[in-house]
Amino acid sequence: MEGTAFSIEEASFDASLLPEGSRTPGTEAFHRAVTDYFQKSYASMGGQLSVVFAAGRIEVAWEPAPAEAPAMASIGPLLQQRRFDEARPLLETLLQLQPEHPEALYNLGVLASEEGRLEEARLLLRRAVVANAPDAHAQANAQVALALAAMRLGDKAEARQALEAAIEVEAGNSFALRSLGSLLVIAGAYAAAVKRFRQALAAAPDDLISTFNLAQALLELDPDEHRDEADRLLLRVIEAQPYGELSDKAKDLRSSIARRDLRADQPDGLRQDRTR
Amino acid sequence: MPAHALLPAVNRLLKQVEETSGLPVAVAQQSDLSTLATLRPATPDYQAHVIAYRDADEASSYHVAFEAALLLRIVQVPPEQRVNLTERRDAKEKVVSQVEKLFKGRLGLAQARQAGLRFYDGLMVQLRSTGPGLWADRWLFEQVPELRGLQAAVLQSQVQGNVPCLNAEVDKMSPADVVKASRAMNAAYAFQAAELVGIPPLAIPYQAAGFEALAKELIAITRAEPTTADPDREIVDGWAEKLGLSRWYVWKTP
């Protein structure tokens, strides 16, 4: 539970919660009994409680116990719940204590990247790549994050280099493969992109984004040759994830295939329903 | 690409809504929403239900599930019995008049009127949504246990966000009837959240402020077996009675 702070009028306090003889607002007995009530109420939570009486009001503040030494075990759940404002100071403290802490460097780099502080992100993530060298998977992830930051900075060269390095240390890193595929699509290298998306799908067969991207790249590469495969892939996306943006895009792409089929069936360009 | 795809449990729930209503459900992220999520049931002119959510984050799965649960109830009300909660002019003007008195000499009449309208509208939205919302939270807790982790985070965050409404300063800036009813509804939310999440201290501020008994009565209304075809309306009317708001609104057919 997060910390909480609130104030209520002494006169508004539910006196039935207090022992008889201590129910008169403003008296010392009342203040003592109210303080006892809050202490008992928050006892199971640990942390620090403050109950202050001022100008007829009860000011209550409860804070959970601070982490003595921030450990990744306690920071991880905060990151998973996207409670970044709470995770960031813990990560920064950790980095001050251990300047090359691999996970602190990685997570602070990712946060900086997500928040648009891209140069800072790039520097942190370059350090994270080095610090994570003993763990191939963690290093690959750091390379991927570095690539994303570089892409956001418009530095496609560093992005591509980082993704290729990630795949080198972890051949089955589906996110790296997928991201490299997307980068290759941007560069117009569709055949190479298709190869990377196929590898991404081999590593993570249920990855719908790779499935969609592969379909898209196949259609760019050769819509005649790859029409059927692309259509099957798009159908798989729609069936697995019927709602949301991705399925909408898949439906749009399937519609474009259908339109293309229709045009191909009518070489003179006339619509079937057209009459003169 | 979507930052966070909806969880499979949410897709199942959406499918259930589609099967029950016989109409499609469209889900869309809309970053300019003023609330975390909203729903627009299908109309004769627009034959699809729409659920919109604001933030492309993990919690959005819960917000969409929550709206889907509400929608599932709405689509089971026979169309000819569907009604909307609408304002009562006399109740609205009473709130406006209270706010004008409260801010006399400090705010111009036009500003005071605007503030009064906001208080009235805000309370009616809270009345219309909180009770059925409590039902939806509990239903999801029981029927879709896969969402409990997300639900715990969402409920706690909401309770923490509501706590400042207890602060004494609020009394000086708001009509007493509005504040009292709003706090009682927040209390019901906090007591149920404390129960579902298993953290009793979440409800302590409201217990201290004397809202426990009323909050538990409101929660009981959301758990009662419905006696009509429109259970949400029963909840809203039941809450309104307990909160002294029965004469603040009327139900009208769309």
Which tens digit of pLDDT belongs to each residue from A184-214? 999 999 999 999 999 999 999 999 999 999 9
Q: What is the pLDDT of residues B81-130, one digit of tens each?
A: 999 999 999 999 999 999 999 888 888 888 889 999 999 999 999 999 99
Q: Say whether both B113 and B35 belong to one domain.
A: no
> Looking at the complex, does the CB of residue B11 fall below 8 Å from at least one CB of chain A?
yes
User: Which chain B residue's Cα is nearest to A83?
Assistant: B153
Q: Say whether both B31 and B91 belong to one domain.
A: no
Contact residues, chain B, for A6 at CB < 8 Å:
163-164, 166-167, 205
Q: Give the closest of A5, A45, A57 to B201, CB-based.
A: A45
Contact residues, chain A, for B52 at CB < 8 Å:
none
Q: Residue A97 is part of a domain; what is its CATH number?
A: 1.25.40.10
Q: Say whether both B104 and B194 belong to one domain.
A: yes
Tell whether the model's pLDDT for residue A152 goes beyond 50: yes
Q: Say whether both A54 and A85 belong to one domain.
A: no
Q: What is the pLDDT of residues A40-58, one digit of tens each?
A: 999 888 788 999 999 899 9
Residue A244 banded pLDDT, cuts 50, 70, 90: confident
Instruction: Identify whether B59 is part of a domain.
Output: yes
Q: Say whether both B140 and B239 belong to one domain.
A: yes
Tell whether the model's pLDDT for residue B1 goes beyond 50: no
Exposure on the CB side of residue A270, measured as CA atoms within 13 A: 6
Instruction: Identify whether B3 is part of a domain.
Output: no
Which of A42, A63, A84 terminates a domain? The answer is: A63
Instruction: Identify whether A193 is part of a domain.
Output: no
pLDDT (average), residues B146-174: 88
CA–CA distance, B47 with B60 (Å, rounded to integer): 24
State residue B4's pLDDT score.
53
Tell whether the model's pLDDT for residue B188 goes beyond 60: yes
> Quick check: B209 and A241 CB within 8 A?
no
Residue ranges of alpha helices (H) inside B24-108 are 60-74, 89-102
Contact residues, chain A, for B164 at CB < 8 Å:
6
pLDDT (average), residues A170-189: 92
CA distance A252 to chain B (A): 14
Residue A269 banded pLDDT, cuts 50, 70, 90: very low
> Quick check: A243 and B153 CB within 8 A?
no
B218: left (phi over 0), alpha (psi -120 to 50) or beta: alpha
> Looking at the complex, does the CB of residue B199 fall below 8 Å from at least one CB of chain A?
yes
Which of A20, A40, A63 terminates a domain? The answer is: A63
pLDDT (average), residues B151-179: 90
Exposure on the CB side of residue B45, measured as CA atoms within 13 A: 2
Tell whether the model's pLDDT for residue A69 goes beyond 60: no
Question: How many domains, in total, are found in chain A?
Answer: 3
Select the more confidently predicted residue: B69 or B144.
B69
Q: Which helix (H) or strand (E) holds A217?
A: helix A208-221
Residue A271 banded pLDDT, cuts 50, 70, 90: very low
State residue B172's pLDDT score.
84
Domain limits for position B175: 85-252
Select the more confidently predicted residue: A136 or B218.
B218
CA distance A164 to chain B (A): 22
Domain limits for position A59: 4-63
State residue A67's pLDDT score.
53
Give the best residue of B17, B29, B39, B166 to mutate against chain A (max A CB count within 10 A): B166
Tell whether the model's pLDDT for residue A1 goes beyond 80: no
Q: Say whether both B221 and B185 belong to one domain.
A: yes
Q: Say whether both B63 and B187 belong to one domain.
A: no
Residue carrying the six token digits 């399925």:
A247
CA distance A244 to chain B (A): 6
CA–CA distance, B250 with B127 (Å, rounded to integer): 12
> Quick check: B208 and A8 CB within 8 A?
yes
CA distance A201 to chain B (A): 17
Instruction: Identify whether B1 is part of a domain.
Output: no
